[in-house]
């Protein structure tokens, strides 16, 4: 049973794991087309940040992946990211794009649900980390050099948390726009709630 009625409420309580749980359980109710749309729109919110950091083929990478014209086998990434030192926010976004591709190519509902859920979470987390990087460049430099720092991590930083809140609110809005209610009593009504819980736990192990 979930403590919160919707993703936005979980986000206001800064319960990012609660947001992820509601995300996964609600995506299970969606068609693949709905899942794809929600994941693509979430990742698109980070695309301008990525484009501001990169040029040429790398700059076009989000548009290429999110145009949904690949087979989800990673070929669009081939050679593009070799010898490229991505910051943690971009690395998270890259993971989201890869998971999006994998979701597009997956045929089983449980598999594309897991891939699209990870893509959405990565899109949100990329924004959260990027906000922290903007405000704590010195701390990031120390962390990159293997040194300790005194400032907050991206999970503890208030501006980064506000960015995550905004991103999760947007995800909640996307569900409502798709007419998918993110309240969760449906879990008890479904034929195999134990199987649903197992699917969530299996996915949870891959991201936390």
pLDDT tens-digit series, residues 35-65: 999 999 999 999 999 999 998 878 989 998 9
Q: Residue 202: is its pLDDT beyond 50? A: yes
Q: Residue 86: is its pLDDT beyond 70? A: yes
Q: Residue 190: is its pLDDT beyond 60? A: no
For residue range 132-184, what is the model confidence (pLDDT) as tens digits? 999 888 888 887 777 887 778 888 889 999 999 999 999 999 999 987 765 54
Structure tokens at 36: 């794809």
Sign of CA dihedral 10, 14, 19, 21: negative
CB 42 within 8 A of CB 110: no
Structure tokens at 59: 């700059």
Q: What is the rounded CA–CA span in Å between residue 59 and residue 5? A: 38
Q: Residue 73, SS3?
A: coil
Please give the model's pTM, rounded to 2 decimal places.
0.88
CB 34 within 8 A of CB 81: no
């Amino acid at each position: 049973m979930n403590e919160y009625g919707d993703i936005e409420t979980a986000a206001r309580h800064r319960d990012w794991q609660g947001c992820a749980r509601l995300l996964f359980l609600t995506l299970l109710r969606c068609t693949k087309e709905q899942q794809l749309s929600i994941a693509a729109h979430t990742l698109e919110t980070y695309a301008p940040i990525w484009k501001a950091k990169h040029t040429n083929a790398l700059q076009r990478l989000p548009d290429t992946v999110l145009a949904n014209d690949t087979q989800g086998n990673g070929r669009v990434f081939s050679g593009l990211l070799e010898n490229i030192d991505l910051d943690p926010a971009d690395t998270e976004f890259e993971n989201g794009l890869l998971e999006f591709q994998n979701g597009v190519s997956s045929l089983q509902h449980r598999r594309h649900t897991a891939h699209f859920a990870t893509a959405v979470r990565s899109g949100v987390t990329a924004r959260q980390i990027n906000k922290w990087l903007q405000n704590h460049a010195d701390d990031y430099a120390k962390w990159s050099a293997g040194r300790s720092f005194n400032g907050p991590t991206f999970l503890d930083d208030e501006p980064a948390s506000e960015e995550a809140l905004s991103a999760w609110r947007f995800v909640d809005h996307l569900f409502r726009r798709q007419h998918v209610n993110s309240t969760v009593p449906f879990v008890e009504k479904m034929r195999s709630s134990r199987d649903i819980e197992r699917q969530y736990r299996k996915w949870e192990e891959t991201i936390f």
